[in-house]
Structure 1
């Protein structure tokens, strides 16, 4: 039993001093002190998991993409693969359990709707951080090759327990809702900052809170060191050193920070352009029209960013267990007879060509992956500050089941794209030696945006995934 006023390890991790273990938060604060770039988040989903070939060959920074991700060629330095992440719980064939916890870490709210019993990371960040940055729309939720239903197998974003954020499948409606009143053809006007000569009590309070958050009492830290092991002490020393340096930077920052952070308004990259929505067709099994549909939705997301209408998006395809009979020349259910099987020694006909179900699965998987690659490449092509819009955006791609559609919570396939300026350890394939909770990844993402979360969903104290950060 700890004595009165004695601090336990758990207490330590709950204190401001304990927060120094959240290296991502420190990294973010350093970036904020150096840059006024906006921070963005895109959650993404494609159906029916991925074949084993979705994982790269090689390891570390020396990896090579295989056929399912061939359209991401050239973006390797922006990608972070994290293998051996497991979901925290499962139910039945994991199709619904996987969707519920994909970005929430939560269980079902009940057995009837099977919606998630908690908010997803995008909505948590909108509530707990300044990611919105004064933009007129909190978040946008778009889909292609789906009807935009709020059913448990179709949604990946939740505003709260049992509160799904339904997708908008219609690009024309989405365009009108997102860009109403926008003048195209120019860079977005930054939100005005208060005059430096005008007293701003709210800003003064915010700066004082920021200063106190980073104050560390040396005597207190020394007394706490006895509670830690050697490795933890070394981490503490490194992070405290960074913390002191950061405190000095914050103290020397000029004026108030306004919406954009250090020194003034944010500088949004690109030009605010009108999106061409022609050619939209809502067929669920025509590859050509789905590709056009997906391109329009991706262009809407990009221009919602360049017009600074929002900084949070959800981009989804199909649904958990999607069938798409007739797509790519396969007349039967892609889920039931391809992804569900995925063998190398059998044969099916796809577009009149005989191939194994594994080869067919790779073809199916690449089709969906290509649409996400299009969005990533568009963001990477837009200069923003000293880098690109992709450097200031974390894209997180998840699926509902483990590798090779194994109907289990094991070896989930998450891919992080972008976020270099938020401290993401991009350009790496990390194959963990032991399984870790996917909730650690979700926690790390929240930390990268400045939210000092210690966990999420049913694992409120799981901590962040250390390999997520550079």
Structure 2
């Protein structure tokens, strides 16, 4: 297994991972061991909450099959995929304090807040460590207003590799394209890629030289920054070695990248890049943050003029604005599934070995206590999860128990994720994974 990364803090390029071992071109795709199959996981978090009435079919108050149910309008695009869907209601996250957002706590299962650093790693990072090796084990992309994505092309509010170690997410698709596919591009993209590469190489050497003169007490900390630049440069070089393979998967660059009319143009191409990173085998863990884990976000491309925090103060059920946003999310989920379904893998397809987790970074609504945290699962992760059903829980088990289930399905023997016995006595009525979701 790869020796996973040391967090590169404050890196303008937004890199959040370091890699110690090179992979050969024929090892790019995540390859299984004799007792496992390639697996991948996608987290999709929409900000401002996920009201259960926007996903639970009318009349369903107890657990049961979705076969004869009609999905609500906001997620109607998923109707043809009900056999792959599992809707979960009744988990809680009161211990995360998710009022405006739980921030890192949403995927960490611990107390979060605006400006509060992560207190431990998040579930997406932990899963990236145990899934099959790839060049970029974990990729985070963030969708926001065009102004925010332009002025703040990277942001760290949702994923973390450890206490005080946030992982940056990409929000400018041009930067992400350069990182993934700059080495196989031509024209301006190629020139920008080479110029940026030269700068990063110079910064790495400059930082190394300056660090040698530091007092011993500061060398270790400074060395982490130097290592971060070295790792980013090494990743770029390794991507260049598999250029022929990557050419088959690189999305076509059009005016949506360089002249976006609306922020949804960038949302769409960011999704394309995330999907291409999965299908090419560059990564096996993708985190998508619509609203970037905060309280902002805009969808003018859907005809929605309201944006930001005001959206959180609107009731979601039967609200035409939120119906449009959730339908847009659902179409994105369908695009992910259909693309992965089209790629053969083993005796089936990539989707057969994939799980998509859709939820919000602040439970059911804005200004929530976190007493109810709805989640949708799509796919079965190579048969590990039940599908085609609705599960109603009683609000006595935390989101940590779902994350424990994900780890168990990935081969990790654990009973609790980021929750001490003392906290569990107060916030968890059980122990171990959720038996209601595992097959």
TM-score range, shorter chain: 0.5 to 0.7
For 1:469 and 1:377, the matched residues in 2 are separated by 24
Q: Secondary structure at the match of 1:403?
A: coil
1:171-320 equivalence runs, <5 A: 171-179=173-181, 272-281=248-257, 289-319=262-292, 320=294
For 1:274 and 1:396, the matched residues in 2 are separated by 25
CA distances 1:197-244 after superposition (whole Å, capped 9, x unpaired)? xxxxxxxxxxxxxxxxxxxxxxxxxxxxxxxxxxxxxxxxxxxxxxxx
CA distances 1:21-46 after superposition (whole Å, capped 9, x unpaired)? xxxxxxxxxxx888653111112111
Q: Secondary structure at the match of 1:166?
A: strand
Q: 2:332 aligns with which of 348, 367, 371?
A: 371
For 1:99 and 1:149, the matched residues in 2 are separated by 18
Aligned partner of 2:100 in structure 1 is 95
CA RMSD, 1 decimal: 3.2
Aligned partner of 2:91 in structure 1 is 85
Q: CA deviation at 1:469?
A: 0.7
Q: 2:407 aligns with which of 446, 450, 467?
A: 446
Confirm or deny: 8 A CA contact 1:272 1:303 kept in the other structure.
no
1:455 aligns with 2:429: no
For 2:351 and 2:95, the matched residues in 1 are separated by 32
1:341 aligns with 2:314: yes
Aligned partner of 1:49 in structure 2 is 49
Gaps of 5+ in 1: 1-31, 184-269, 345-355
Q: CA deviation at 1:375?
A: 1.8
For 1:435 and 1:138, the matched residues in 2 are separated by 33
For 1:443 and 1:278, the matched residues in 2 are separated by 41
For 1:95 and 1:401, the matched residues in 2 are separated by 6
Corresponding residue pairs, total: 329
Confirm or deny: 8 A CA contact 2:122 2:159 kept in the other structure.
yes
Q: CA deviation at 1:326?
A: 5.0
Structure 1 residues 421, 276: CA separation in 2 closer, same or farther (over 3 Å shift)? same
Confirm or deny: 8 A CA contact 1:171 1:280 kept in the other structure.
no
Confirm or deny: 8 A CA contact 1:68 1:365 kept in the other structure.
yes
Q: Secondary structure at the match of 1:454?
A: coil
Q: CA deviation at 1:85?
A: 0.6
Aligned partner of 1:38 in structure 2 is 38
CA distances 1:150-190 after superposition (whole Å, capped 9, x unpaired)? 66xx632111112221111122321232246579xxxxxxx
Structure 1 residues 182, 138: CA separation in 2 closer, same or farther (over 3 Å shift)? farther
Q: CA deviation at 1:434?
A: 4.8
Confirm or deny: 8 A CA contact 2:41 2:355 kept in the other structure.
yes
Q: 1:435 aligns with which of 390, 396, 405?
A: 396
Q: Which has the larger radius of gyration?
A: 1
Aligned partner of 1:332 in structure 2 is 306
Q: CA deviation at 1:440?
A: 0.3
Confirm or deny: 8 A CA contact 2:316 2:322 kept in the other structure.
no
Structure 1 residues 77, 35: CA separation in 2 closer, same or farther (over 3 Å shift)? farther
Confirm or deny: 8 A CA contact 1:422 1:448 kept in the other structure.
no
Q: 2:75 aligns with which of 69, 76, 82?
A: 69
Structure 1 residues 145, 323: CA separation in 2 closer, same or farther (over 3 Å shift)? closer
Q: CA deviation at 1:280?
A: 2.4
Q: Secondary structure at the match of 2:158?
A: coil
Aligned partner of 1:60 in structure 2 is 64
Q: Secondary structure at the match of 2:87?
A: strand
CA distances 1:319-378 after superposition (whole Å, capped 9, x unpaired)? 432253856444334642x5413188xxxxxxxxxxx7x333223332333223322332
Q: Secondary structure at the match of 2:320?
A: helix
Aligned partner of 1:137 in structure 2 is 136
CA distances 1:121-156 after superposition (whole Å, capped 9, x unpaired)? 1222333x2x142x22221112233526666xx632
CA distances 1:28-82 after superposition (whole Å, capped 9, x unpaired)? xxxx888653111112111212342222344522333111112223221211111
For 2:279 and 2:298, the matched residues in 1 are separated by 33
For 1:113 and 1:384, the matched residues in 2 are separated by 42
Q: CA deviation at 1:272?
A: 3.8
For 1:33 and 1:67, the matched residues in 2 are separated by 42
Q: Secondary structure at the match of 1:81?
A: strand
Q: CA deviation at 1:390?
A: 1.5
Could you state the TM-score of these two structures normalised by the residue count of structure 1? Answer: 0.62
Q: CA deviation at 1:282?
A: 8.2
Could you state the TM-score of these two structures normalised by the residue count of structure 2? Answer: 0.66
Aligned partner of 1:104 in structure 2 is 108
Structure 1 residues 436, 113: CA separation in 2 closer, same or farther (over 3 Å shift)? same
Structure 1 residues 295, 330: CA separation in 2 closer, same or farther (over 3 Å shift)? closer
CA distances 1:397-438 after superposition (whole Å, capped 9, x unpaired)? 221233354522021122111134151112211112453211
